Chains A and B, each alone.
Chain A
């Protein structure tokens, strides 16, 4: 290279790391991740606080998967470790830390071997031999008590206790282990945890948590309706119970007299009444709707002694349908075809300060609810995660009843087997086999370290015991000594251990084989504020939202979408949801299908409402995309963890280059970028977007929940599908309208588009 100038093979911003450097980067990254989580391992492991940089929310957790999921990483190898931890979480639910730590330890050993000039492939070869041996040893040591019910239950309780002992529930593990086992055994062998509902209520102590057969819904029963129903017949529906409106925009009624308007109003009410009659024809005594039930239908239900529960959220309603054995219905013309849900008893109960509805004696006998109580939100969240882990492991164990011993015993057992093989293996790979055994022994070492004991002493003792043939020896972390873990009842699921071993060795092997890291050039992005006439294309999008206040033209500053007006430099447009006294869901939908599908690089949406702050968990976003091949539409929901949401004052608005417009109020927003946070495929071939908000805060005295979307910013990747003119942008000002004593802040909508297309860029430059 010396004589020549550097030859650029990669485009600007791209880079390559080779051989030693690449390997070094991998090792450093992976080992750092392992070190980060290793202090959470074991019964005396510590917790981490995850503090969000954006809204300051805190999470306290001991769960490896949760920690790793949350931290931002920029290292390929580290990401591999995060991934195996995620897979572990999905597969077995627990052992997420162990798998990461074992992989990191394997790489640490490999690094040492490579420094001794052993070829990575030789190390891989050795690791393969070792992992096969270890797996065999593990299988041999596994015990199957699946046939003996009493013994199996004891096994399950032991497993639950072992899992919980490293979590926040450790103090009351006996109690929670029984609780978890009871819940899982109700499932009768199924591994679907959907039947187990976990409700968190602040207040009380952890020991006040309990398992309740049946299903608890965090909703209220309507006014004047029966609060207690025996032998309930339940219709579960998803239908608008306000008024059945014509959903074509621009549809309007022309009349020439007030009387006719009154008739119209009457007709609307009669239509609703008819709908209620149809629902009643199902012979039900309880009606549960996903959407709101307005006063009028509520009264009709009350009159006919039917309990109507409104606004059960989506997850709630699906679960209800599942546990009550009913179907979600939207039309009511054929009662004979509808499968009704049923349960023995519906009643109101009080947990803490809240009233909830309990369904007991439900059709699906496996369903049950765990009510968690605790001092702080953090505690409750962590308790839920811990319990979920335990439930996962238990349900997996029911499916695969083999168990192995915990407390470092299995690891030592495997290490011993691997050591034995190492002695008979020839060649350099024997060193790798030995190294594998050392890495396995690191797990008990870390366990002891975390508990503050002399790890070298304990682990060597443990090794000696195993060599004496006491193959059930392990670490007793409560007394700090080596003991028979079989007697202590420290049991783990075989599936979990196997998964840890296999994932870790596979991941380390994969990372070891890497000798070159190529970073692609970051996607170039250009900022173009679209010109005014281009807006027309954007406007060919149909924007709909959850019903509007159609008070005529924009005179009172509340516009319906089709009335968005542009006049001169002050362009006013915004979307405002209908004021919702119940603070339910509001949504906004943009449909670009008339223009064609296109790829989006990122979007951000900013919103403000009646002075309340939104946090990320109050916003759910779903995106509709169209597959070009089939033409079918599908909905993909963006996981909320991929969303970057902030609630900011106007001055720190990250999106705005014209802050003057937004100075009158808050600017809360969420953004999603395909490359940074999430799955790039989420935003390919998009034809529309649907944004949903759940406004959780109760209304202030005299206020209603209302959502004002200020603007949506969409960045396009390219315009493959004829999105030629799709790059509009319009900026609007701030309107303040006083409605019923409530000041509503309304902003404008703005679309601005970034693109990489050179021709477009030039054109755009000209426009600017």
Chain B
């Protein structure tokens, strides 16, 4: 028996080298990813320029976007990319923080591993610590009333402050708040479908020209080829899913022409066919026609455009199929798939439909919609495509922040204050524990300090003096003392109006620790087909 036990034992011991290597390679890879995005954290964080394989350039500060663009190979690195994406889905903001946090937790775990603590013990303690942290954060949070516009604005501004568009936050924050408030019912809603908020981007002008449109904005232009109108008052909008072009059945077909008279007849018939359709449209009272894009046929041809122009119908083509639902919701019209069913009750009504040129870009605005659904469009302008894309991402983040507040109506301070506070409390709690767990809790608490440290580093402050002072102030009971990045000092962060939703912080900590747990539990990488 003794022999039976000793042989596998020694083998097992030898095998322990490989898991350690695998683990350390995973940690190194994951840390590399987190270091890559680290410098973009916070209001003074820098942006990254990413050149993709096909030569396209993206400039961004958004962690999820940076990671999505980086083509990482290492399995552990891929998991961090996913982590950031998950934070994006869940909270929409804090995509950089979550990765930085995961990196820091892994560094802590590495040290614990060196001390000989079993990886599963570390992973499980970290998860318990994360749960405890979420508890502390919830305790610290301030409940929010959705009618409190001031606080909503503050949190949107905090999210925007770290982006390129930070100087426009006074413009974008109200847009974010108003658009979310418009699509929900503040009293009852527990979630926001961001699909109801349409972000339309147009190059031209500056971000200053960005506006929220009470109605609908279409990027497609009015067709002017036939000389039709470009503005329509008291518009009656019809959305058609058929085409104003010569008929084309699904069956294979062939028109056999025997002589020139027949050719004439064919042309005449085509004319009559189209005219008939256009007349029928006019008869229903419709004066604005939106035409869904078709891949099989031309949406309109010259002839039908000519008729439409004569009948004073404004036409817009190339409406995507996935836009249809939104357009219907916004304008109250119903899609019409066949000319026979083109009736008045399917039309939507608006005070004005107009192609306007704002800041060098043409868009169609549909304003003053009657019976409008709860939707809203935001028209974003920007000097170039790169700024525009980043502005859209930033606004999306801000919208997500407001959505978080709708989901979980509580706010906490920003500027590293909650992290330090939680870290302090965890330290205290760790002292009541014993065994390995106490060690792990301490390490977790220390790892949380990465957020204020990085904030300070990125702002060009001395991280050590800042973090130690923060600890000191929190120890004295100043729970909301945080880094005031603009002034470079520590102050009561609530006075600086730096607020963020509770959900962003709790989900960042929970998701990060879940991923760390998974990485810690890996002891082998096996290549498969």
Pick the residue among B6, B90, B270 that contacts A204 (CB under 8 A): B90
Bound-complex Cα distance A54 to B266 (A): 57
CB within 8 Å for A295 and B292 given contacts A56-B73, A253-B254: yes
A66-74, A116-124, A384-392: which lies at the B interface? A66-74
**B523 adjacent to A46 (CB under 8 Å):** yes
**B507 adjacent to A205 (CB under 8 Å):** yes
**B15 adjacent to A171 (CB under 8 Å):** no
A265 at interface by CB-CB < 8 Å: yes
B328 at interface by CB-CB < 8 Å: yes
**B250 adjacent to A53 (CB under 8 Å):** no
Query: Which B-chain residue is minimally distant from A202 (CB atoms)?
Result: B86
B17 at interface by CB-CB < 8 Å: no
The contact string, 1 if C-beta is below 8 Å from chain A, for chain B 52-80, is 00000000000000000000010110110
Pick the residue among A224, A382, A455 that contacts B334 (CB under 8 A): A224
B325 at interface by CB-CB < 8 Å: yes
**A58 adjacent to B246 (CB under 8 Å):** no
A147 at interface by CB-CB < 8 Å: no
**B251 adjacent to A445 (CB under 8 Å):** no
**B518 adjacent to A257 (CB under 8 Å):** no
- Please indicate the chain B residues that have their CB under 8 angstroms from the CB of A46 in the complex: 19, 119-120, 521-524
**A438 adjacent to B1 (CB under 8 Å):** yes
A245 at interface by CB-CB < 8 Å: yes
From residue A383, how far is it (CB to closest CB) to chain B in Å? 10
Query: Which B-chain residue is minimally distant from A264 (CB atoms)?
Result: B249
A758 at interface by CB-CB < 8 Å: no
**A60 adjacent to B269 (CB under 8 Å):** no
Interface hub of A204, A261, A300 (most chain B Cβ within 10 A): A261
From residue A259, how far is it (CB to closest CB) to chain B in Å? 4
Pick the residue among B15, B83, B120, B250 that contacts A268 (CB under 8 A): B250
Number of residues of chain A lying within 8 A (CB) of chain B: 98
Bound-complex Cα distance A442 to B296 (A): 68
**A739 adjacent to B507 (CB under 8 Å):** no
- Please indicate the chain A residues that have their CB under 8 angstroms from the CB of B11 in the complex: 35
The contact string, 1 if C-beta is below 8 Å from chain A, for chain B 339-370, is 01100000000000000000000000000000
**A44 adjacent to B321 (CB under 8 Å):** no
| A239-282 contacts to B (CB < 8 Å) | 242-243, 245-246, 251-259, 261-262, 264-265, 267-269
Bound-complex Cα distance A47 to B521 (A): 5
From residue B438, how far is it (CB to closest CB) to chain A in Å? 15
**B528 adjacent to A50 (CB under 8 Å):** yes
**A202 adjacent to B89 (CB under 8 Å):** yes
B324 at interface by CB-CB < 8 Å: yes
Main secondary structure on chain B at its contact with chain A?
Answer: helix
Bound-complex Cα distance A449 to B524 (A): 16
B179-187, B479-487, B509-517: which lies at the A interface? B509-517
B9 at interface by CB-CB < 8 Å: yes
Pick the residue among B1, B82, B194 that contacts A377 (CB under 8 A): B82
Pick the residue among B246, B253, B526 that contacts A50 (CB under 8 A): B526
**A644 adjacent to B255 (CB under 8 Å):** no
- Please indicate the chain A residues that have their CB under 8 angstroms from the CB of B241 in the complex: 295-296, 299
Number of residues of chain B lying within 8 A (CB) of chain A: 87
CB within 8 Å for A299 and B255 given contacts A48-B526, A259-B269: no
B43 at interface by CB-CB < 8 Å: no
| A164-222 contacts to B (CB < 8 Å) | 168, 170-171, 202-206
B146-154, B225-233, B257-265, B463-471: which lies at the A interface? B257-265
**B523 adjacent to A254 (CB under 8 Å):** no
**A258 adjacent to B118 (CB under 8 Å):** no
**B75 adjacent to A246 (CB under 8 Å):** no
**B325 adjacent to A223 (CB under 8 Å):** yes
Bound-complex Cα distance A487 to B511 (A): 34
A87 at interface by CB-CB < 8 Å: no
From residue B262, how far is it (CB to closest CB) to chain A in Å? 6
Pick the residue among A170, A224, A261 that contacts B335 (CB under 8 A): A224
Interface hub of A223, A242, A438, A452 (most chain B Cβ within 10 A): A223
CB within 8 Å for A51 and B526 given contacts A242-B250, A261-B255: yes
The contact string, 1 if C-beta is below 8 Å from chain A, for chain B 85-111, is 111011000000000000000000000
From residue B200, how far is it (CB to closest CB) to chain A in Å? 12
A456 at interface by CB-CB < 8 Å: yes
From residue B106, how far is it (CB to closest CB) to chain A in Å? 14
| A62-80 contacts to B (CB < 8 Å) | 62, 67, 70-72
The contact string, 1 if C-beta is below 8 Å from chain A, for chain B 238-258, is 000110001111111111111
Bound-complex Cα distance A441 to B335 (A): 71
- Please indicate the chain A residues that have their CB under 8 angstroms from the CB of B256 in the complex: 254-256
- Please indicate the chain A residues that have their CB under 8 angstroms from the CB of B507 in the complex: 204-205
**A262 adjacent to B341 (CB under 8 Å):** no
A355 at interface by CB-CB < 8 Å: yes
**B255 adjacent to A257 (CB under 8 Å):** yes
**B529 adjacent to A53 (CB under 8 Å):** yes
Pick the residue among A203, A265, A379, A702 that contacts B248 (CB under 8 A): A265
**B522 adjacent to A456 (CB under 8 Å):** no
B525 at interface by CB-CB < 8 Å: yes
Interface hub of B4, B292, B324, B517 (most chain A Cβ within 10 A): B4
B336 at interface by CB-CB < 8 Å: yes
- Please indicate the chain A residues that have their CB under 8 angstroms from the CB of B336 in the complex: 299
**A245 adjacent to B524 (CB under 8 Å):** no
**A379 adjacent to B518 (CB under 8 Å):** yes
- Please indicate the chain B residues that have their CB under 8 angstroms from the CB of A72 in the complex: 528-529
From residue A96, how far is it (CB to closest CB) to chain B in Å? 15
CB within 8 Å for A223 and B328 given contacts A168-B518, A253-B252, A256-B255: yes
A582 at interface by CB-CB < 8 Å: yes
**B120 adjacent to A53 (CB under 8 Å):** no
- Please indicate the chain B residues that have their CB under 8 angstroms from the CB of A446 in the complex: 12
CB within 8 Å for A258 and B338 given contacts A202-B89, A438-B4, A740-B295: no
Pick the residue among B262, B270, B511 that contacts A256 (CB under 8 A): B262
**A258 adjacent to B15 (CB under 8 Å):** no
**A456 adjacent to B5 (CB under 8 Å):** yes
Bound-complex Cα distance A246 to B195 (A): 39
**A299 adjacent to B338 (CB under 8 Å):** yes
**B75 adjacent to A58 (CB under 8 Å):** yes
**A47 adjacent to B523 (CB under 8 Å):** yes
Pick the residue among A52, A352, A353 that contacts B529 (CB under 8 A): A52
From residue B112, how far is it (CB to closest CB) to chain A in Å? 13
| A352-384 contacts to B (CB < 8 Å) | 352-353, 355, 374-379, 382
Query: Which A-chain residue is minimally distant from B18 (CB atoms)?
Result: A39
A345 at interface by CB-CB < 8 Å: no
A350 at interface by CB-CB < 8 Å: yes
Query: Which A-chain residue is minimally distant from B511 (CB atoms)?
Result: A375
- Please indicate the chain A residues that have their CB under 8 angstroms from the CB of B338 in the complex: 269, 296, 299
- Please indicate the chain A residues that have their CB under 8 angstroms from the CB of B5 in the complex: 445, 455-456, 459-460
A21 at interface by CB-CB < 8 Å: no
- Please indicate the chain B residues that have their CB under 8 angstroms from the CB of A459 in the complex: 5
From residue B155, how far is it (CB to closest CB) to chain A in Å? 20
A579 at interface by CB-CB < 8 Å: yes
Bound-complex Cα distance A560 to B333 (A): 38
A725 at interface by CB-CB < 8 Å: no
The contact string, 1 if C-beta is below 8 Å from chain A, for chain B 2-43, is 001110110110010001001000000000000000000000
- Please indicate the chain B residues that have their CB under 8 angstroms from the CB of A67 in the complex: 526
CB within 8 Å for A739 and B295 given contacts A39-B19, A438-B4, A582-B321: yes
Closest 3 CB pairs of A and B: A203-B89, A46-B523, A252-B252
Supply 7 further A-B pairs (C-beta < 8 A) apart from A352-B90, A677-B529: A52-B527, A70-B528, A203-B86, A251-B252, A259-B272, A299-B336, A353-B89
**Could you write out 6 A-B pairs with CB less than 8 Å apart?**
A71-B526, A252-B251, A252-B252, A378-B79, A456-B5, A550-B252
B-side residues, CB < 8 A to A, are 1, 4-6, 8-9, 11-12, 15, 19, 22, 73, 75-76, 78-79, 82-83, 85-87, 89-90, 118-121, 124, 127, 191, 193-195, 241-242, 246-258, 262, 265-266, 269-270, 272-273, 292-293, 295-296, 320-321, 324-325, 328, 334-338, 340-341, 507, 510-511, 514-515, 517-518, 521-529
